[in-house]
Structure 1
Amino acid sequence: MHTSSSQSTRPAALELTGVSKSYRSESTTVAALRDISLAVPAGTFTAVMGPSGSGKSTLLQSAAGLDSPDAGCVLLGGTEISRMRGKALTRFRRDHVGFVFQSYNLLPQLTVTDNVTLPLLLAGRGTDRAWLAYLLDAVGLDGLGGRKPQELSGGQQQRAAIARALITRPDVVFADEPTGALDSGTARQVLELLRHTVTALNQTVVMVTHDPVAASYADTVVFLADGRIDGSMDGASARDVSDRLAYLGRN
């Protein structure tokens, strides 16, 4: 099994073993993932890269329990989720998985604090006020908890979305092109924040991105081509990633 970090002594927060996924239409079948095996150590930052159609989004969706693989096993925080269905899977995702997307998905009628704590409300759980205050401070929103999303910049809204992803203390935070809607300066701040959650909070982050600069913030970059893992790099620079992308699928 491919391990996505040189820190292989850490327990795995996420494990995929032999995961395959195809999508069928009336006339054709497209193999999105082909026998993917991957282990992501806890407390690490992994970026997943590859060209359009390589399987990046399907990998994230299968790993996060948003889609079910046709074959193989997905363990998240030591729990097999690949055979979970319905309410059990929904509850598990709510408690153990955090999501950050390109669109912030904040509710405009709610304050920052209410948006951040919404996952706890939906789960029927109380809010640890000390943890909330710590998170808002950690993401640079201290003093802004009473504002509505429309009163924030794009970068601040994404910071609120990251705090919301962290509020349940999830096993893994999955980020899907989290800087795609941001200018380069704001994107850098958000990437530094994701990096900080790994370093300071021991959070596990798996990020899908097309941007070599974004990928360079990760401990490990995993490359996909035609639904298969096509190698990885630890501690790669943006130039290293760009050079590697040019040769994807040629091995």
Structure 2
Amino acid sequence: MYSNAAEFPGSAALQLQGISKSYRSGSTAVPALRDVSLAVPAGTFTAVMGPSGSGKSTLLQCAAGLDSPDSGKVLLGNTEISRLRSSALTRFRRDHVGFVFQSYNLLPQLTVAANTTLPLLLAGRETDHEWLDYVLEAVGLAGLGERKPQELSGGQQQRAAIARALITRPDVVFADEPTGALDSGTARQVLDLLRHTVSALNQTVVMVTHDPIAASHADSVIFLADGQLDGSLGNASSRDVADRMAYLGER
């Protein structure tokens, strides 16, 4: 489900070409990503896995425009975001990128509907109420739009966060450990929901996770070791993913 070659299909929702990124530790540059190239097809669910320090969070941040690579290109849809200036990048993220984090980041004073449509409000865009109703129904929150976050369970709050990520019809939804704060049963429901957004809404989802069970919900699992790609698995079971993780960096 991904390519580490120099070719990037026109249907790719996300393309990374030769991405490298280092961070300073005193006078030393510590590499986080080393010449990473991949392409994620539109309408797919991709998981990114690797041990702590492998570069998976840096990959997500560069891919989503939250951080800038030292070298290489990042394309979301047909836009090379690695060339955008700060203000233009902020606008692009707001309109074309959805985010789901371990913490739900819902505003407690706003209703579910208001939290969901907040990206539209910040962008000065009108709310398409038919689309809002459809999104809330798709994430299992039909009829709960007027509730406040504190009136919801943890799983329902994460569903609201997913609805907020979907409301702008983004090119890609990036999920960073989205089930880390949930019990196993609720986590499975949220992962099934992310899977549903891909199959029913043709959404593209890229998820960073440390959990083989979570990764097994994806179409493809990309592995990182020491800042470099270390293979992938398609339609893998949680056991397949766990077995592959045990041998990262040995190929």
Which residue number in structure 2 is paired with residue 184 of structure 1?
184
| Deviation digits for residues 148-195 of structure 1 (CA, Å, limit 9, x no counterpart) | 000000000000000000000000000000000000000000000000
Which residue number in structure 2 is paired with residue 133 of structure 1?
133
Matched AA of 1:106: L
Give the TM-score normalised by the residue count of structure 1.
0.97
SS of the residue corresponding to residue 43 of structure 1 reads coil
Which residue number in structure 2 is paired with residue 174 of structure 1?
174
* 8 Å CA contact 2:9, 2:39 repeated in 1: no
User: Which consecutive unaligned segments of at least 5 residues does structure 2 have?
Assistant: none
| Deviation digits for residues 43-97 of structure 1 (CA, Å, limit 9, x no counterpart) | 0000000000000100000000000000000000110001212210000000000
SS of the residue corresponding to residue 3 of structure 1 reads coil
Separation (CA, whole Å) in 2 of partners of 1:182 and 1:71 = 36
SS of the residue corresponding to residue 108 of structure 2 reads coil
Q: Name the stretch that deviates more: 63-72 or 21-30.
A: 21-30
Give the count of matched residue pairs. Answer: 248
Matched AA of 2:223: F
SS of the residue corresponding to residue 31 of structure 2 reads strand
CA deviation after TM superposition for structure 1 residue 28, in Å: 1.8
Which residue number in structure 1 is paired with residue 60 of structure 2?
60
Which residue number in structure 2 is paired with residue 96 of structure 1?
96
Give the TM-score normalised by the residue count of structure 2.
0.97
* 8 Å CA contact 1:18, 1:72 repeated in 2: yes
Which residue number in structure 2 is paired with residue 209 of structure 1?
209
The equivalences for 1:204-243 within 5 A come to 204-243=204-243
Separation (CA, whole Å) in 2 of partners of 1:78 and 1:3 = 17
| Deviation digits for residues 80-115 of structure 1 (CA, Å, limit 9, x no counterpart) | 001212210000000000000000000000000000
SS of the residue corresponding to residue 110 of structure 1 reads coil
Which residue number in structure 2 is paired with residue 107 of structure 1?
107
CA deviation after TM superposition for structure 1 residue 2, in Å: 4.7
Runs of 4+ in 1 over 2 A off after TM superposition: 1-4
CA deviation after TM superposition for structure 1 residue 3, in Å: 2.2
Which residue number in structure 1 is paired with residue 49 of structure 2?
49
Percent of counterpart pairs with the same letter?
81
